[in-house]
Amino acid sequence: MPRDPRYDILFEPVKIGPVTTKNRFYQVPHCNGMGHTYPRSIAAARGVKAQGGWSVISTEECEIHPTSDVSPYIEARLWDDEDMKRLQLSMDAIHEHNALAAIELVHQGHDGANRYSRLPVMGVSDLVVHSYDPNQAYGMSKKDIADVRTMHRNAAVRARDCGFDIVYVYAGHDLSLPFHFLSPRHNQRTDEYGGSLENRARFLKELLIDTREAVGDKCGIAIRLAVDELLSSNGIVSATEGREIVEMLAELPDLWDVNISDWSNDSQTSRFSEEGFQEEYISFVKQVTTKPVVGVGRFTSPDTMVSQIKRGVLDLIAAARPSIADPYLPNKIERGELEDIRECIGCNICVSGDSTITPIRCTQNPTMGEEYRRQWHPEIIKPKTSDARILILGGGPAGLEAAMSLGRRGYSVTLAEASEQAGGRVLRESALPGLSAWKRVVDYRLGQITRLNEVEMHLNSSLNPQQIVEFSRELNIQHVALATGSSWRKDGVGREHHRPIGHDNSVPVFSPDDVMGDSFPQTNRVIVYDDDHYYMGSVIAEKLANAGSEVTLITPAHMVALWTQNTLEQDRIEQRLFSLGVNMLCRHTISEIRDNEVILSKINASSVSSIPADAVVFVTSRISENTIYTDLTSNNAPEADHIGLTTVTRIGDCLAPSTIAAAVYHGHRFAQEFDTELDIDVVPFKREYVQI
């Protein structure tokens, strides 16, 4: 299908100093949990993006020296010549597909604790380190400033020699030393590097000049700058100092990469922001510089991209998360295959990889992070190796992914879904406040399945074990995959309580399934007990508060929605609940429900209190819906000796309740490994070993 002429502008080249892009699609720096530890893995991931049409592919932040060691987080490193060998793998993978490679050099100042190098931490001023490590940074002397400039210059030379086309000077996200110099919150100096904005910008200006001298005319020079911290007068504001910094340095770099700080603001989830949400903060930049401007906004719509360019907001469309969800997004737009784009859902499960110091993952793209170790590709899957036929029970995220991927391999698949609509938990959860974008998980897979002749889908098809056996015999099906999901418990069993919480039935208890299914009655005083610690407890509380209930959210954790720190949402979740009047009580657990009250115990204390309640919603743990599996695989299975099935496999939440991303991944892995003999004594993926 030819490209829609409306999108021609997206495929125009853009000159960045001495280099030129092949189009306007630019993958900005983003963390990936692989970095210097898994260089082949990250090189393969970047290579796939280059293959998918991105014109510029950037590294994550790259440490320039042991005095800026962000361990245990796994980022890129360019401490010495030995690190060049690891980065060269990415260079080769990117350049193989005619894309430009950019490197984001960073010294984090007091944001890093130097846990590995154990060197004293340098900072713009005498400050505590950003982490909770019990140590502080010392204020840099003039010699220290000169030394860091030398470190940065040396790293830039190595980057040039390594083959990078664009070298960054990083001053964003409140994670870099140049930004700390800019910020009056951090910069308490009284010399020529402190006080006025001109003085505070001196270090950044020097780094830009140093980098230009270091790389000459071999590389483009990019600056990444956070122009607004969303802290009002307590931080840098785009309308005042943010604009003044850009005006002051307007023509020094070859490219302006602009965003907002900190990372939780820059990478807001779809629950709290819309596509292109940063425009109001960065739109001024093109007015004050002649150099090209790139910016992010979780762009997935080509119409929005075109609008940003034609209205003079951006010259290049930047993406981190959309390039993770679909590494082939540019190619699909160019080929007119818009319906094939796996749109980012903005859940930030990708960010959680960096937060938990593990390789990146994605809800929409289960191949992300598996390009090297499992040889998975987002668009290419190995063909079938037999004429086996598969029955999949359950059309949730695992079942849909398995059916789609098996169909792409060429296998004959029958998908049976018990309800009127496919989608499972995704369909229910996407109806909750702020989660509508999550329905893209279902929409993409249904759209693909409808075009696969190999896959038949039957709705309103609830099959019991006997019917499965009969159906399989009728259609000559040898393999059954059970993707029947899970259900939320109503007894309070979870992390804190391993046995049901006692109650005398004076207060009715419910689960998230009841609230999502609209079987929850209009109730005045509701207790939401969150022992899950991800998004569900808070979003259930939000829905009930919106409906007019007086909601109290109780959690044993020390903060609400504790795990969402890993997806950069925790602060916003707490602010949202506070604005809705939700009472939040942390470090408490429900010990009993009796006499129309909820009896509470404080964690690690002997105090007991009570709260009157009209209803309790337990958000604690889930039970796999695996009865069919048990029946089919037990000795009492229907006609057990002649059942006729070669394999019966549980996938997704039916096996082990987890995230939607995990369900999609498990469905994909089932499809990839189907008809493959796996040796339990062999690690099922390629490892990267440290040389000894």
**Cα–Cα distance, 300 to 279 (Å, whole number):** 15
pLDDT by residue (tens digit) across 202-236?
999 999 999 999 999 999 999 999 999 999 888 99
How would residue 635 be classed by pLDDT, with cut points 50, 70 and 90?
low
Tens-place pLDDT, residues 167-187: 999 999 999 999 999 999 999
CA distance 453 to 408: 10
Residue type at position 82: E
Distance in angstroms (rounded) separating the CA atoms of residues 658 and 678: 24
Residue 350 clears pLDDT 50, i.e. is over it: yes
545-599 pLDDT, tens digit per residue, is: 999 999 999 999 999 999 999 999 999 999 999 999 999 999 999 999 999 999 9
Distance (Å, rounded) from C-alpha 245 to C-alpha 428? 46
pLDDT (0 to 100) of residue 640 = 47
Q: Which two tokens stand for residue 526?
A: 């509701």
The pLDDT score that the predictor gives to residue 2 is: 85
Which active-site residues does the annotation give?
A: 31, 170, 173, 266
Residue 638's pLDDT band, with cuts at 50, 70 and 90, is low
Q: Quick one: tokens of 193?
A: 């590097």
For residue 319, the model assigns a pLDDT of 96
Nearest by Cα to 536 from 639, 660, 670, 444: 660
Residue 455 has pLDDT above 90, yes or no: yes
pLDDT of residue 639 exceeding 80, the answer is: no
- In DSSP terms, 255 is beta-bridged to 222
pLDDT digits (tens, 9 = 90+) for 301-343: 999 999 999 999 999 999 999 999 999 999 999 999 999 999 9
Q: Which fold has domain 389-485+625-673?
A: Rossmann fold (3.40.50)
**Comparing C-alpha atoms, which of 265, 378, 362, 298 is closest to residue 28?**
298
Pairing of β 550-555 and β 525-530: parallel
Q: Give the global pTM.
A: 0.96
Q: How far from the centroid of its chain's Cα atoms is residue 540's Cα?
A: 22
Give the span between the Cα atoms of 169 and 179, in whole angstroms: 10
Band of the pLDDT at 641, cuts 50, 70, 90? very low
Cα dihedral 198, 199, 205, 207, rounded to 10, equals: -170
Cα-trace Rg, the chain: 27
User: Which residues 6+ apart lie within 8 Å of 371 measured at CB?
Assistant: 41, 44, 45, 47, 48, 377
Instruction: Give dist(CA 87, CA 78) in Å, integer.
Output: 8
| DSSP E strand boundaries for 320-447 | 389-393, 412-416
Q: In the predicted model, what is the mean pLDDT of residues 32-37?
A: 95
Helix (H, G, I), strand (E, B) or coil at 238: helix
Q: Is the CATH number of domain 490-623 3.50.50.60?
A: yes
Phi-psi region of 579 (alpha: psi -120 to 50; beta: other; left: phi over 0): alpha
Q: Which residues pair with 593 in a beta bridge?
A: 503, 598
Q: Tokens 């401490």, residue?
A: 79
Task: Compute the distance between CA of residue 505 and CA of residue 104 in angstroms, rounded to an integer.
Answer: 59
Give the H or E element holding residue 534: none
Q: With contact defined as beta carbons under 8 Å apart, do 282 and 259 qualify?
A: yes
To the nearest whole number, what is the mean pLDDT of the chain? Answer: 95
pLDDT at 691: 75
Instruction: Pick 5-355's CATH classification: 3.40.50.1100, 3.20.20.70, 3.40.190.10, 3.40.50.620.
Output: 3.20.20.70
pLDDT at 109 over 60: yes
Q: What is the pLDDT of residues 438-452, one digit of tens each?
A: 999 999 999 999 999
Res. 522: pLDDT tops 90: no
What is the residue type of 187?
Answer: N
CA dihedral 553, 554, 556, 562 (to 10 degrees): 10
In the prediction, which pLDDT does 426 show?
A: 98
Report which DSSP code applies to 502.
E
- Listed by start position, the domains of the chain span 5-355, 389-485+625-673, 490-623
Share of the chain above pLDDT 90, in %: 93
